[in-house]
Amino acid sequence: MTRQSGTIKDGQSLVERIQALLDDPAHGNNPLRSLLEEVNDHILGQNQRMERLLRISDGYQLLEHNQTLTLAERCEKQLRRMEKLARISDQYQRNLWEVTETLRQAANQDSLTGLANRRFLMERIKEETQRATRKDSLLAIALMDVDHFKQINDRFGHEVGDVALCEIAGAVRQGVRRYDVYGRWGGEEFLLMLPDTGRDEAVMVLERIRQTIADLAVGDESPIRLSASIGVTLLRHGEDIDDALKRADDALFQAKREGRNRLVVAA
């Protein structure tokens, strides 16, 4: 007998032939029908028993092969299996970490400039505000807006506008300190939080950024100089962050009204 598809080949052929006869309505009243059903059930039972014997035989052969190995060989074989499983597990953990990190960055990072996005900044505003209140420390909050950004888009197109935003993001990244918090607040507007920073020091940091931006230009033909207006304020003790942001925003608009490319400190 040969083993095929989990049954005995010859037996399977006979079963199929008998089953075809039993399924044929023309033989529904045949006096041999009940006998054929018994024969069919018997063949199926024999096939199942043979399958079990074959599985037992396969397992026995594997067991017999393993028993011919020495204890050291069996230990070595098991160790190799465990090392393989460990490598698979390590790779899975690395892949999982990479996917998680990628998703985390995508959720917190502005896709164009690479800076923190508004979602991340909102979380950090809360953290920095609570920290400043708890420690009774200074926190400078600044809003910066790119001057004449619509003209850049209208004159050179949105691709050059995107380049301008990336250049300005680089100037911000270059000008801030290691512990400052900054990112793209939306559109052509940026938010900067300077922890443990008083008025004069905040002005120094922000002026450095403003001057760096003023040295930038975009556009291949007849390039246009970039500039930015900035409004900054200090968080007052116990103040709601929305009030501080409103004050910084008012200072920003004052800088725009006074000619742009300047920094205004809210009173």
Please state the domain extents for the chain.
3-67, 118-265
Could you confirm whether 207 is annotated as catalytic? Answer: no
Per-residue pLDDT at 112: 94
Contact 138, 132 (CB under 8 A): yes
Per-residue pLDDT at 199: 96
Average pLDDT across each block of 10 residues of the chain; the chain has 267 residues. List them in order. 42 68 75 75 76 60 57 70 78 72 74 94 95 95 97 93 96 96 97 97 98 94 93 94 97 97 95
CA 35 to CA 31: how far, in whole Å? 8
Question: What are the residue ranges of helices labelled H in the chain?
Answer: 9-23, 33-67, 71-108, 118-135, 149-156, 158-175, 199-214, 241-257
Contact 259, 165 (CB under 8 A): no
Query: Which phi and psi (to 5°) does residue 237 adopt?
Result: -60, 125
pTM for this one?
0.64
Choose the catalytic residue: 64, 188, 207, 258: 188
CATH architecture of 118-265: 2-Layer Sandwich (3.30)
CA 128 to CA 117: how far, in whole Å? 16
Per-residue pLDDT at 62: 56
Per-residue pLDDT at 120: 94
